[in-house]
Structure 1
């Protein structure tokens, strides 16, 4: 495996795309339907994943915590009310930025400074693993929300990904 971080990130992209494809087959009103869950709607789960992915990309690219926080606040405002298709397009653009970045990087330490946690240095591969793990966690929220609404989720376990690419 030439670039383990890129390989793992591709799983994240695949899993998100499986969800987009699945949601397009369901009633469109589900995207913004208010639910009693960890997030108030499916669209807000995706907005959260996207915003956090974007903020970590900024951090990996050398932006400060404050710059990432400002970006997150701006994106939070931009995400309000957007369609499933627009969200899918935003994820696609961001994934191309990630892939281009990861193709050019060596795994190595990235300094991080957080106002509450202090300073540390974390390998790029660990940050990518965090991004992917965060997305996996919230895709589980999506499954619970769809079941609550009377629909099935979609399988995005890592092993399903491995079978799909063989």
Structure 2
């Protein structure tokens, strides 16, 4: 990371890199699940692994990314099945996760101290602290990755190691390599 970036840039770029890494690791673990278990109602808020991954696509990529990148406020249901095909859904999630780092790096430092103005899915105007709302996006993804990891465990599958500190340790080790 460039030393000319603000502490906010540095923090959120790290979050974005972790988000890409964790998304890839989660989807790799999910790929080992049968189609039947992948779509089975395992008691998650969005019922199945598939439903929860679709929710991540809706919430993170189609709603929040549009709000942060374009100032748009799409009207979508949080439980909408945007992508029924699990392979294409995984690719959409990976591609969407990869978009955040560049977007974050493009903002001026003062943007992080501002507000994010948008409309809720019911059309109600909102104005929330920009940096805190961006933190919500990454926290939300972590929450649902945890749910999916628990579902994998309940299905008898190994859960991936997704701790952020583990990712930071890997990045530090990579930085020390010649």
TM-score when normalising by structure 1? 0.80
Q: Tell me the secondary structure at the aligned position of residue 80 of structure 2.
A: helix
Q: Distance in 2 between matches of 1:96 and 1:16?
A: 10
Contact 2:18 2:167 in 1 (8 A): yes
Q: Provide the rounded CA distance (Å) in 1 between the counterparts of 2:77 and 2:57.
A: 12
- The 1:77/1:38 distance shift into structure 2, 3 A limit, reads closer
- Structure 2: stretches of 5+ with no match in the other structure: 173-178
**Greater relative contact order structure (CA < 8 Å, 6+ sep):** 1
Equivalent pairs, count: 159
Post-superposition Cα deviations, 1:112-160, rounded to whole Å, max 9, x if no partner, equal: 244687542422x323311110011111111221222222311111111
Describe the shift of the 1:112–1:44 C-alpha distance in structure 2 as closer, same or farther (beyond 3 A). Answer: same
**Equivalent residue number for residue 175 of structure 2:** none
Q: Where does the alignment leave 5 or more consecutive residues of structure 1 unmatched? A: none
What is the deviation of 1:40? 1.5
Task: Pick one of 77, 95, 98 that aligns with 1:96.
Answer: 98
Give a deviation string over 1:2-61, Cα, whole Å, max 9, x none: 432222111111111111111223434322123233231101111111211121111112
2:82 is equivalent to residue 78 of structure 1: yes
Across the aligned residues of Structure 1 and Structure 2, the Cα RMSD in angstroms comes to: 2.5
SS of 1:150's equivalent in the other structure is coil
